[in-house]
Amino acid sequence: MISFCGIQLRHPIVNGSGTFDAIAARRAFGDALLRDFPFAAFVSKTVTLAPRQGNLPPRLWELAAGMINSIGLPNKGLDGYLAEDLPRLAELPVPLIVNVMGSTPEEVATLVAAFAGREEVAALELNVSCPNVKTGLLMGADPGETAALLDAVRPRTAKPLIVKLTPNCASPAAVAAAAEQHGADAVSLVNTLRGMAIDPRRPGQPWLGGGTGGVSGPAVRAIALAQVREVRERVRVPIVGMGGVQSGRHARDLLDAGADLVGVGTESFRDPRAGGRIAAELAEIDANSGIVAGPPKPARPRIAQSL
């Protein structure tokens, strides 16, 4: 078992928010999904206060090494999530992390407060980094905005707060430091990198209904590694590292760069069991290298060590 923000987890592999629909997977695989759940904790797709339709189609574009999504946050809104999704997600055999997003700090605080007393919820992830809507990205691109968000949200819950960082800004590490200083318990990164594809039949016109989208998959793995390393050098809080992980080796690299958990996202679209496979591969790598799974090393920023 490993401990993450006081939550006990069987292994370090979780899903990236919005990349695995556990309710649909339960319909497809039945109770076998519960017996052999691929992730050590489940992070649900972003919830907003009001229901949203999401972006116009097309919403996906496949790349040589990943994909671009422009989903635009379709969801049932807080009331729909509480009534329909939360009871089903609470049946999963692993801790539940609810991802929320709002267009103002007050809106995010309202969402956080709604989950504060829910025993089914182990932690909350604040999405300040969606590339596909105008709001949200702003808060996560600027350390001052992120600090103000935490100031509004932190007093509303005792549950662990994870801040999901964007790679689309000048300094993710500065944003991580602001989040930590203002009460975040952990940070997660990377969300997707803004990108676009041209419609092959309409030269110069974007393929995606939303115009631009978020690039994920193997194409972003080297960027994720560099950003996790940079954030680790600035903060002590645990890091959920993700970006293009396809194997246990990739997961080990992110852990070695300073992550405490690893998120699997795009790979689950190719293989819904990828999380379990990657966890098994990681355990094998660690068994063969003499690394013992146990309490994670205390997070010590490199900066502090060199002082």
Binding site for ligand RRO (CB under 6 A): 18, 46, 69-73, 127, 129-132, 191-192, 214
42-43, strands of its sheet edge to edge? 13-15, 261-264, 239-242, 186-189, 161-164, 121-127, 96-100, 42-43
Give me the residues paired with residue 164 across strands: 127, 188
Q: 14, 86, 111, 130: which one is catalytic? A: 130
| CB closer to ligand RRO, 129 vs 227 | 129
Distance CA 80, CA 174 (A): 35
Cβ–Cβ contacts within 10 Å for residue 227, how many?
A: 24
Q: How far apart are CA 223 and CA 61, in angstroms?
A: 20
Respond yes or no: is residue 130 known to be catalytic.
Answer: yes
State which residue, 130 or 235, has the beta carbon closest to ligand RRO.
Answer: 130
Neighbours of 134 (CB within 10 A): 8
Give least dist CB 76 to ligand RRO, A: 14
Lateral strand order in the sheet of 213-216: 60-63, 66-69, 213-216, 193-195
The smaller minimum CB distance to ligand RRO, of residues 223 and 283, is found at 223
Q: Which is nearer to ligand RRO, 127 or 146 (CB)?
A: 127
How far apart, in whole angstroms, are the C-alpha atoms of residue 178 and residue 305?
Answer: 20
Candidates 270, 247, 246, 209; CA nearest to 60 is 209
Task: Name the residue nearer to ligand RRO (CB basis): 36 or 62.
Answer: 62
CA 100 to chain centroid, in Å, comes to 11
Minimal distance in Å, beta carbon 73 to ligand RRO?
4
Q: How far is the CB of 227 from ligand RRO (least distance, A)?
A: 15
| Sole residue written with tokens 């690299």 | 253
Which CB atom, from 108 or from 279, has the smaller least distance to ligand RRO? 108
Q: How far is the CB of 243 from ligand RRO (least distance, A)?
A: 11
CB of 40 to ligand RRO, least distance (A): 21
**Residue 163 CB, nearest approach to ligand RRO (Å):** 12
CA atoms within 13 A on the CB side of 144: 0
Partners of residue 215 on adjacent β-strands: 68, 193
Torsion of CA 233, 234, 237, 238, to 10 degrees: -40
Q: Is the peptide bond before 14 cis (omega within 30 degrees of 0)?
A: no
| Residues labelled catalytic | 130
